Structure 1
Amino acid sequence: MTTEVSRDSRRSTALSTPPPSRWMRWTAHAVPLIALPSSLWRLAMTVGVPVGYSDAVLRTDYGLPGSGYFVLPLITVLQELAALLTLGLVSNWGLVAPRWLPFIGGRPVRTWAAVVPAALGALILTVVTFSQYLAWDKVDSGSLDDAHRSVMGWCYAPLLLWGPLLGVVTVSYYLRRRRQR
């Protein structure tokens, strides 16, 4: 009986929330793709693709060879996982926590439990990426030639969209959940 009640509450949460618009789904799916170029650039550097840094800079600034073989892929994986969390705002697992999660698995996700971290993430990402953009003329100016610096810039520039797009998807999620009540 208890499982039937919990299943019914999960179903009612998922069914009573209006589905996201096609645009919001596309926007949410764009976020992991936006994070991908910088991830690929970082992984290329890790596996030895010449990205323009001298061996001395790779050793002192990025720990290559050495700890960078662990740290840079870890940063990449964490970045992509964080970007993939945006999909929860347009998926059923953003309405009902997946069963495999300890303590909360199978329970409805409280609106604020998703909106607050997503909104804070959008704000932090926007501030960090735009502050880095404003300081771009000072970033690695002595370590990279113009061609390699341009490639790096084109790989990192899409990150400027991550915060604002996450913010848009977060507002959409909040408005959909508010209509649910």
Structure 2
Amino acid sequence: MNEHTAVEAPRWAVRAAWASALSSTVGFIPIHAVWAAGIPLWADPDKFKDWYVEGGGPYLFVLSGLATLAGILALSLIRPWGQIFPRWVPLLAGRKVPRRTLSGTAFAVSVFLLGYTGWAAWLTAADFTDEGIFSPWIVVYGIPQFLVWGIGLFMAAWSYRARTAPRPAPRT
């Protein structure tokens, strides 16, 4: 019998986590998978080819893998397996998931994503030319997608942190 029980996430946190998870997977991975496959969609074909040959393909596959992990991270903030290890996890089944590790990781990733989004927006606005590998118009797609990803993850982490905070023992 499990001595711990998971605390259900409020609806707004569930929506935020799902928005983040979908943004990181359905929003991010398809376009990056196209590029990882060597297809220069919305890119200068000659510059893309050189970049791809120099390691761009493997880099994009790694980014897509990290985006998948970020989607799982977002969902772990609202699902019971984000609070209590499932029974199929050897040696940890039924134990509490370290809340600081999970929430700290989620906050760190969300801050990184939001910082990267701001940097990318500033960089694009400062030099909106067709000199780069990818069309500068890709930010019209990328910036909102990264904002949803980062803000949703931050909100879900905030809820997770509040729901899993240690409660003082009741006075008798």
Q: Does the alignment reach a TM-score above 0.5?
A: yes
Relative distance call for 1:59 and 1:42 in structure 2 (3 A) is same
Aligned: 1:131 with 2:125: no
CA contact (8 A) 1:31 1:84 kept: no
Q: 1:78-123, CA deviations, whole angstroms, 9 ceiling, x for partnerless residues? A: 2122122111110001111234445534311132222222222222
| Alignment partner, residue 105 of structure 2 | 117
The partner residue of 1:13 within 5, 27, 32 is 5
Q: Secondary structure at the match of 1:178?
A: coil
The partner residue of 2:27 within 37, 40, 43 is 37
Which runs of 5 or more residues in structure 1 are unaligned? 1-6
CA contact (8 A) 1:24 1:172 kept: yes
- Alignment partners' CA distance in 1, 2:133 and 2:101: 43
| Alignment partner, residue 54 of structure 1 | 44
Bigger helix fraction: 1
Relative distance call for 1:140 and 1:103 in structure 2 (3 A) is farther
- Alignment partners' CA distance in 1, 2:93 and 2:118: 36
Which runs of 5 or more residues in structure 2 are unaligned? none
Aligned pairs for 1:88-167 within 5 A: 88-101=76-89, 103-137=91-125, 138=127, 141-143=130-132, 148-150=135-137, 152-157=138-143, 158-167=145-154
> RMSD of aligned C-alpha atoms?
2.6
Q: How many residues align?
A: 165
Relative distance call for 1:110 and 1:69 in structure 2 (3 A) is closer
| Alignment partner, residue 4 of structure 1 | none
Amino acid in structure 1 at the alignment position of 2:37 = V
The partner residue of 2:12 within 20, 23, 28 is 23
- Alignment partners' CA distance in 2, 1:140 and 1:105: 53
% identity of equivalent residues: 22
- Alignment partners' CA distance in 2, 1:136 and 1:117: 28
Query: TM-score w.r.t. structure 2 length?
Result: 0.79
Which deviates further from its counterpart, 70-79 or 81-90?
70-79
